[in-house]
């Protein structure tokens, strides 16, 4: 009987810890993934900024409508430009397929931004309107 009680107590303690860890911790923000299907709704929210981190040549081929910042990931002043953004806003970052934007988004989190989303699949997976 004591063994069963011990197992139940241990299991309850473990699941309580697990559920606590699943809640977002605002003191330790992380890059969130934004699925393509949710982009339109996210951009309708207040203080959401869409940032394209592709090269100027890539941008010239077309960009996601609503993008307001074009910061080339490969530029020498990339980090300076990112740090100059308003860290109180919410950012959706994208590139061609998600690699550069993932690194850019993590850089933002590491530098005090708290609400940063990496667009899953980048513009390669985007099926909406493309501007030029």
- What are the phi and psi torsion angles at 28 (to 5°)? -135, 75
CB count, 10 Å around CB of 30?
A: 12
Catalytic residue among 92, 95, 116, 123: 95
- The alpha carbon torsion through 76, 80, 81, 85 (nearest 10 deg) reads 160
Of the candidates 77, 130, 5, the one whose C-alpha atom is nearest the C-alpha of residue 94 is 130
Of the candidates 37, 45, 103, 49, the one whose C-alpha atom is nearest the C-alpha of residue 73 is 103
Active site residue 17: no
Tokens linked to 61: 């081929």
Task: Report the catalytic residues.
Answer: 95
């Amino acid at each position: 009987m004591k063994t069963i009680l011990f197992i139940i107590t241990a299991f309850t303690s473990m699941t309580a810890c697990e559920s606590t860890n699943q809640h977002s911790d605002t003191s330790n923000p992380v890059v969130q993934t934004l699925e393509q299907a949710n982009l339109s709704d996210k951009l309708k929210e207040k203080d959401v900024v869409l940032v394209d981190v592709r090269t100027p040549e890539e941008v010239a081929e077309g960009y996601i409508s609503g993008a307001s910042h074009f910061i080339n990931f490969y530029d020498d002043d990339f980090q300076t430009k990112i740090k100059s953004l308003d860290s109180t806003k919410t950012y959706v970052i994208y590139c061609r397929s998600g690699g550069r934007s993932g690194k850019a988004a993590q850089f933002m989190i590491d530098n005090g931004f708290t609400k940063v989303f990496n667009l899953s699949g980048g513009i390669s997976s985007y099926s909406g309107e493309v501007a030029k």
